[in-house]
């Protein structure tokens, strides 16, 4: 049942992305609002799929790559709604919808079987820690989309106004991601101390989470203290999201550590 709901959610995200793509050329409010409504339906289906899997597994569905990607997609879709209502930039909406499609599309390639938790994961901290991290990841995915949109549109005749809108969207997304990723690091440290008797062990996932958080700390510093221009900040935002992807998935597959279970 959860797979059926997830597939329906994927269809909604893909339809929304296509409508937003059409909206880049057909400037009709009806197209934009239809795309917005469909991705909201997709987000509800996505959350329902998580709920059904939670009930079937008897635990939060956040313990492996498939489940985390489904959660990631839901976070992206919900933030899409928030940012689309505020900024109404078609290219930004299109790119964010594509990210949700990519997340669920990748999830479809993963093992969907429900497996029992290993002993170290049987803790309420699993839900708290992972949700904080994935709200952060989803927000930073939105910041990535805003950076791409800025770099694509920066030569447009409306670059002054549009550049300011996308700069504001990037800043708000980075701010949300920075806070929630920081909370994910802190709750992970508390969980590690409860499970292994130490707050920090320089596990590869811990280390790269910190590196990623520091990259976005520097992004904020560069914006407000160094006064970098929007173009340089956009490129730094792209680099930061590469670090997010490596922290999220690359570490699991390329470097052995305490979080290697997440690749299953």
At 53-106, the pLDDT tens digits run 999 998 889 888 999 999 999 999 999 999 999 999 999 999 999 999 999 999
Residues 41 and 147 in one domain: no
* 105 and 9, same domain (yes or no): yes
Q: Determine the structural domain holding residue 182 and report its residue range.
A: 117-264
Q: How many domains does the chain have?
A: 2
Nearest Cα neighbor of 95 from 168, 170, 157, 155 is: 170
User: Do residues 173 and 49 share a domain?
Assistant: no
Residues 108 and 6 in one domain: yes
Domain edge (last residue) among 95, 115, 135: 115
5 and 78 in a single domain? The answer is: yes
Mean pLDDT along residues 123-145: 94
Residues 47 and 122 in one domain: no
Dihedral angle sign, alpha carbons of residues 35, 36, 40, 46: positive
Query: Based on the domain organization, do 57 and 180 belong to the same domain?
Result: no
Q: Residue 263's pLDDT is what?
A: 54
Q: Compute the distance between CA of residue 81 and CA of residue 38 in angstroms, rounded to an integer.
A: 10
Q: Do 127 and 196 sit in the same domain of this protein?
A: yes
């Amino acid at each position: 049942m959860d797979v059926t709901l997830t597939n329906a959610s994927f269809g909604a995200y893909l339809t929304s992305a296509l409508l937003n793509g059409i909206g880049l050329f057909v400037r009709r409010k009806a197209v934009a609002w239809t795309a917005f409504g469909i991705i909201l339906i997709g987000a509800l289906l996505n959350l329902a799929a998580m709920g059904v899997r939670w009930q079937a597994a008897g635990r939060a569905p956040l313990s492996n790559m498939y489940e985390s990607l489904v959660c990631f997609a839901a976070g992206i879709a919900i933030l899409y709604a928030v940012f689309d209502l505020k900024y109404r930039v078609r290219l930004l909406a299109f790119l964010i919808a594509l990210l949700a499609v990519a997340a669920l599309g990748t999830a479809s390639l993963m093992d969907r079987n429900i497996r029992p938790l290993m002993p170290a994961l049987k803790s309420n901290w699993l839900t708290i820690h992972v949700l904080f991290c994935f709200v952060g990841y989803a927000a930073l995915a939105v910041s990535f989309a805003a950076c791409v949109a800025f770099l694509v549109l920066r030569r447009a005749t409306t670059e002054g106004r549009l550049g300011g809108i996308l700069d504001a969207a990037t800043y708000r997304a980075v701010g949300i991601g920075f806070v929630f990723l920081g909370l994910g690091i802190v709750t992970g440290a508390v969980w590690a101390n409860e499970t292994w008797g130490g707050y920090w062990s320089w596990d590869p996932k811990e280390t790269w989470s910190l590196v990623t958080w520091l990259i976005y700390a520097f992004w904020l510093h560069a914006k407000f203290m160094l006064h970098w221009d929007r173009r340089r900040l956009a490129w730094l935002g792209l680099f930061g999201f590469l670090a997010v992807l490596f922290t999220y998935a690359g570490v699991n597959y390329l470097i052995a550590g305490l979080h290697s279970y997440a690749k299953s």
